A and B are shown apart, each in its own frame.
Chain A
Amino acid sequence: MGKQGVGAPLPRREDDRFLRGRGRYVADIAMAGMREVAFLRSPVAHGIVRGVRAPQGSMVFTMADLDGVAPIRAPSALPGFRRTDQWPLANGRVRQVGEPIAMVVAATRAEAEDILDAITLDIEELPPATDMLAHRAGPPIHEGWPDNVVLHSLVEDDISGVQAPIVVRRRLRTARQHMAPLEGRGVVARWDTRLSQLEMHTSSQMVHVTKTGLAECLGLPESSVRIISPDVGGGFGYKGILLQEEVAIGWLARRLEGTPLRWIEDRREGLAGQANCREHHYDITVHADHDGTILALDCEAHVDVGAYSAYPFSACLEGAQIGSILPGPYVVPRYRCRTWSVATNKPPILPYRGVARTGVCYALETTLDAVARAGGLDPIAVRLRNLPGPADMPYTNVTKKIFDSGDYPEALRRAAEAMDREGFAQRQREARDNGRLIGQGFAIFCEQGAHGTSVYHGWGIPFVPGAEPCQARLTPDGGLELRVGVHSHGQGMETTLAQVAHEILGVPVERVWLIHGDTALTPYSTGTWGSRCAVMAGGAVAEACTELRERLLPIGRHLLQAPEAVFEDGAVRAGAASVSVAEMARVFHRAPQNLTEAMQARGLECTAGHKTMRDTGTFSYAAHAVEVEVDPATGHVDLLRYVIVEDGGVLLNPLVADGQVLGGTAQGIGTALFEEMPYDAAGQPLASTFADYMLPGASDVPDIEILHMETPSPISRFGQKGIGESGAIGPPAAIVNAINDAIAHLGREVTDIPATPERVLAALAHPGRPGRGGAA
């Protein structure tokens, strides 16, 4: 509807407060009498806590004090899944460096850290499991397990009869990474004696799930827990996890009723003990015909899931996802994938933007380029042979994923054209003649978003998303309040959801107020994750506003005394006469005597739920294309050009969509070239500050050109698709393909990421050995 509705490129309304420093985060909250909490954390990767001796007179709590508190449990119903108990404070054993052992309270954080320094900790060390391949069989890190396999999943097809002229096998590794939102985790909590309720401010993407998990661990009814998530400085998955610290502080706030408590995670805590993600190993084989047509795909994959199954997504998420999404966007006739999720003495692996997609896209797309090299084929042509065409849509792939709509080959063709693919070979030769190594790389992938009940029911994890709710309320002055259970922390929903409301009701975007991030004020929802909000919360806002519109129409007709009047452009209209939404809201709330009894009975406030027409998810897709220069002396990789062709269906707001893609791509560049959380053989993290853990900086992200296609999804309310994670998926595959294109004539290949200068140099030093790169 005009300039503010669906598709309008409105600047984000929330940016005004963010850019002026007027946002309010957990660490900005101060309460009278507030005290600081700090955690004593395990200095070893595996051990038995024999004793914690606290200095005289200090307030120190261990698990023995936390009576009635249950461990965090995130099971999965997938066959064979082994459950872990993650205690809020160590209960005998510690299984990772950084695991909380004791909780200290003091007037300031510095004083709390002084007490930590003075505690004597007696730990009997046990040998750690640190490598998913070497330690899969044991020794087990959980008592009673036969080995360290959390889950072994199989997608078994008989591929024994496949006779392929091209068979390419690669062993690839993706580094363990650390999610690094600008704002780390943090908690401010107090026990409200009036309401007999724990009020916890915490930096969360999913306040309701946190509430449910916390209530279960603390043995409280859900009415006794209120979770408030104010502005959140980046989530990416790390804010979708129930933390041990939240449980421990929740217990303590109740115990010290009346004393507000605060814990703000510092970077060292975050880096050395939390927010790990992404560590995969692939042994992948593609069987292809002479022309590059895929005949079969065969893979054995490992995921290092760390010590515990994190709530609520569980340790099964990545491993099971690999099996179901490894075939990517392609037509794969035969497919076999065996996946092991292996427990190690490292922090739990958490779902990071893209989740397993970044790894599988890397594995499949780099191997397809190797197929092209093996067959003397163009990598674009190989992909075009194997992508389903627009006439095949909706396409059900080998793992029963239903690609809802789109023209995948066209996305790739546009990317190739934008990169001047035709002229590149000559430029590459000329560059080589001048001693320069340049290369182009491509990757294409699809992203399932907003998948719902039927998909998650199958995983059997602690929550299953249902219909997404929205409460809409017209205020007497004609304003519109939207209450949603999702949380906006960078997604721009205070803008886009207002645009959806405007589309339906015509209320100016400036008069729409989005209320989110508070369990007391919003309807129950699984929250913000899985690229679901544009589709699910957008759909929910549309449903609720449609319901309001249906309630307004009889009021307008009555006030106009025109039974044929229609709702249009934010008013009920009959010829030249009209009555605005604001006027109808005023009459309803402040002059009900002008309405019939029946009109007064139903309020201008309603809750509606939304599900997509089929809950198997929207499938956005994108082609990433990059040109790099490799410095053969230093191994340094420069990104010369980066083009993305993105199809997110109908865009609610193209500016917001671009922002999502750009931010994700910056993170993907980190995965490709910089980010790595190494552990030594003792299970010690080797990066505990940003001097050691390299994030890409502004100067490492080139000007990214985004070209949009907008194929509507047939299953969502406006044809929109989820694209929240897309940007973070493609870069490692595209960039490493470009690196390998630059060095292929030397017979060299990079296989492990990040492609650090050390790994690139190691690859250059080992001709004809496309195996493991060097250690960084």
Chain B
Amino acid sequence: MKPVAFEHATAATLDEARALLTTGAKPMAGGQSLGPMLNLRLVRPERLVDIKRVPGLRGFTETETHLTLGAATTHAEIEDGRVPDVTNGLMRHVAGGIAYRAVRNRGTLGGSLAHADPAADWPSVMAALGATILTSGGRRLPADGFLRAPFTTALEPGEIITAVEIPRQPPGARWGYCKINRKIGEFAKAIGIATPTRLLAGAVEGPPTLLDRVEDIPARLPWLDPAAQRLAAIAVTRAQAMRDS
């Protein structure tokens, strides 16, 4: 379980990162998904571009309406409240349930979104929050719809996520989050999210899906088998109950 040989480059600026990310190159921030894939030789990039020191990918800016988190913000920084929270605790709650602490110390928000594993937490949470993904190509992509298919996103080749813009939730707005998995820290088999205005079914082997009602699941997630649809319904129902409790 050792990677094939690759060239390693560190990008000091976004322009440099763009220049280095030619065909056959892969960006790496926390490396918590890419690292194992490299070791298993499932990916064999010619060049690995370390982007976590690029100015602007770290840190945050806050306005009255939004929080913008740098893409290289780690799960642990969110969990520990080292960046502001505009979601009444939802993001801190979610961050604390991602894998285990060693992974959270290195893994990043942007990396998780770009990796686009449907069973991961952030693609679902950002879609439910109505967040916007900002890219090195200067594009603003809605988080809902960003994950096109498992491990496939709306990013163009060579384009990286630079930040995520999260709408500030109204004070006191309640939420519910239910992740069904084999044990704490494992990837989800189903994710249900309830915000005051939205329901979302995640970890559905495809794009996280906004719902009007739990009963929409069979129609909106036709590719899921009945058992998985059932599990999705349980997760969404429990998220709703948590929100309304």
Contact = CB atoms under 8 A, between A and B. Distances in A.
Interface in B1-58: 1-5, 36, 40-41
Contacts of B40: 268, 689
Nearest to B119: A691
A700 to B, nearest CB: 5
Nearest to A268: B1
A634 B231 contact: yes
Contact of B187 (A691, A699, A756, A761): A691
Given A114-B5, A634-B180, 10 more contacts: A110-B5, A113-B1, A114-B4, A634-B231, A674-B183, A689-B36, A694-B186, A697-B183, A697-B184, A699-B185
Interface size class of B (residues with CB under 8 A): 10 to 19
B183 A113 contact: no
A761 B182 CA distance: 14
A674 B234 CA distance: 22
Interface residues of A, number: 23
A757 interface: yes
Interface string A627-663: 0000001101000000000000000000000000000
17 contacts: A110-B3, A113-B2, A114-B4, A114-B5, A117-B4, A268-B40, A633-B234, A634-B234, A689-B40, A691-B187, A694-B183, A694-B186, A697-B185, A699-B185, A700-B183, A756-B182, A761-B227
Contacts of A697: 100, 183-185
A266 interface: yes
A109 interface: yes
Contacts of A114: 4-5
Given A634-B231, A689-B36, A691-B187, A266 B1 contact: yes
Contacts of B227: 761
A108 interface: yes
A266 B36 CA distance: 12
Interface in B86-117: 100
Contacts of B185: 697, 699
Contacts of A691: 187
Contacts of A633: 234
B79 to A, nearest CB: 16
A714 interface: no
Contacts of B36: 689
A268 B42 CA distance: 13
A267 B186 contact: no
Interface of A: 108-110, 113-114, 117, 266-268, 633-634, 636, 674, 689, 691, 694, 696-697, 699-700, 756-757, 761
Contact of B1 (A267, A636, A696, A761): A267
B31 to A, nearest CB: 16
Main secondary structure of the interface of B (DSSP, over half): loop
A369 B170 CA distance: 55
Interface string B158-201: 00000000000000000000001011111100000000000000
A702 B141 CA distance: 44
A20 to B, nearest CB: 19
B182 A694 contact: yes
Contact of A757 (B1, B2, B182, B184): B182
The 8 A-B residue pairs with the shortest CB-CB distance, nearest first, are A110-B2, A266-B1, A699-B184, A633-B234, A109-B2, A700-B183, A113-B2, A694-B182
Contacts of A266: 1
Contact of A674 (B3, B100, B182, B184): B182
With a 10 A CB-CB cut-off, give which of B2, B4, B184 has the most chain A CB atoms. B2
Nearest to A266: B1
A292 B183 CA distance: 38
B85 to A, nearest CB: 24
A699 B101 CA distance: 13
A674 B185 CA distance: 14
Contacts of B182: 674, 694, 756-757
Contacts of B183: 674, 694, 696-697, 699-700
A267 B1 CA distance: 8
Interface in B183-236: 183-187, 227, 231, 234
A701 to B, nearest CB: 10
With a 10 A CB-CB cut-off, give which of A110, A674, A689 has the most chain B CB atoms. A110
A266 B41 CA distance: 14
Contacts of B100: 697
A700 B227 CA distance: 24
A634 B4 CA distance: 41
B204 to A, nearest CB: 16
Nearest to B44: A117
Nearest to B3: A110
Contacts of B1: 113, 266-268
B2 A108 contact: yes
Contacts of A268: 1, 40
A694 B182 CA distance: 8
A117 B1 CA distance: 12
B4 to A, nearest CB: 7
Contacts of A267: 1
Contacts of A117: 4, 41
Contacts of B186: 694
Interface string B57-88: 00000000000000000000000000000000
B51 to A, nearest CB: 24
Contacts of A113: 1-2, 41
Contacts of B187: 691
Nearest to B2: A110
Nearest to A636: B180
Contacts of A109: 2
With a 10 A CB-CB cut-off, give which of B36, B183, B234 has the most chain A CB atoms. B183
Contacts of B4: 110, 114, 117
Nearest to B5: A110
Contacts of B5: 110, 114
A6 B90 CA distance: 54
Nearest to A109: B2
A200 to B, nearest CB: 23
B89 to A, nearest CB: 20
A666 B5 CA distance: 39
Contacts of B2: 108-110, 113
